[in-house]
């Protein structure tokens, strides 16, 4: 959707544009990365050309993977649903959650509000499905995301075959996500590439970075220069810009 020509006197929300509600903090660095990507992907010449967002950096939302795997009885779903209601009261046009594992709770969040909830998983799966010649898709994600089969179901629904790491490689991925990125330590990019290489050896045509902590690594180390990677957070940022009524850069 292309906005109308600029009118310096036009109020916020003019030309079909809407504010975006962001349930953030899951994790904090990934939310900051998402906001940076939204700015970078917006074709803007001045401050007023950028997307209006209302961001809840709610870092104390219970751990999604721990709950899905039964290691915690703290349910993130009601917390995120309450955040969505809070954002709706503030007048946002739709809600995004820059976290893949949180997709497990999307139905609960969506049921709590009347505004749409844009799915990072569905948008990423659509992007992958549109790539010519793609049949098998590697998925790098938290163990919670894989256990909930959120990407597996989304990919299979589009006629694609998911390929997930074996147990040893999944331990490597979880170490990068939790012990490195979430802990504020440097990521072992070589180890991440090695896991992706092994998925490729098993037939993966592309590899989805299906955890937003891995998106942080992608942004810091320019992983998208390697055409085999599809970054879910980058996809969500571009779709957010478009859905809000702004042109992409």
Task: Please identify every residue annotated as catalytic.
Answer: 99, 211
**Residue from 148, 154, 133, 144 nearest 232 by CA:** 154
In this structure, the dihedral spanned by the alpha carbons of residues 194, 197, 198 and 202, taken in order and rounded to 10 degrees, is 170
The residue whose two tokens read 């089969």 is 149
Q: How far apart are CA 171 and CA 190, in angstroms?
A: 15
Answer whether 195's CB lies under 8 Å from 140's CB.
Answer: yes
The residues near 51 (Cβ < 8 Å, ≥ 6 apart) are 17, 20, 38, 39, 42, 240, 241, 244, 246
The residue whose two tokens read 């937003």 is 212
**Residue from 92, 86, 85 nearest 17 by CA:** 92
Tokens of 227: 């055409």
**Residue from 208, 222, 23 nearest 122 by CA:** 208
């Amino acid at each position: 959707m292309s906005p109308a020509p600029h009118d310096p006197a036009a109020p916020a929300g003019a030309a079909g544009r809407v504010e975006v509600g962001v349930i953030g903090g899951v994790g904090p660095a990934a939310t900051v990365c998402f906001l940076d990507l939204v700015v970078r992907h917006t074709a803007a010449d001045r401050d007023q050309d950028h997307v209006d967002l209302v961001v809840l950096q709610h870092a104390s939302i219970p751990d999604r993977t721990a709950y899905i795997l039964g290691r915690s009885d703290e349910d993130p779903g009601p917390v995120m649903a309450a955040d969505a209601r809070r954002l709706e009261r503030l007048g946002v046009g739709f809600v995004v959650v820059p976290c893949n594992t949180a997709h497990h709770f999307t139905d609960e969040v969506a049921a709590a509000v009347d505004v749409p909830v844009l799915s990072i998983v569905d948008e990423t799966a659509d992007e992958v499905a549109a790539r010519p010649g793609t049949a098998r898709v590697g998925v790098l994600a938290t163990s919670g995301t894989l256990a909930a089969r959120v990407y597996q179901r989304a990919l299979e629904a589009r006629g694609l075959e998911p390929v997930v790491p074996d147990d040893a490689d999944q331990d490597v991925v979880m170490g990068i996500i939790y012990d490195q990125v979430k802990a504020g330590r440097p990521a072992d990019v070589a180890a991440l590439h090695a896991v992706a290489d092994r998925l490729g050896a098993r037939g993966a045509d592309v590899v989805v970075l299906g955890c937003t902590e891995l998106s942080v690594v992608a942004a810091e180390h320019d992983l998208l220069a390697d055409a085999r990677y599809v970054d879910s957070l980058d996809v969500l940022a571009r779709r957010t810009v478009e859905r809000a009524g702004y042109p992409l850069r």
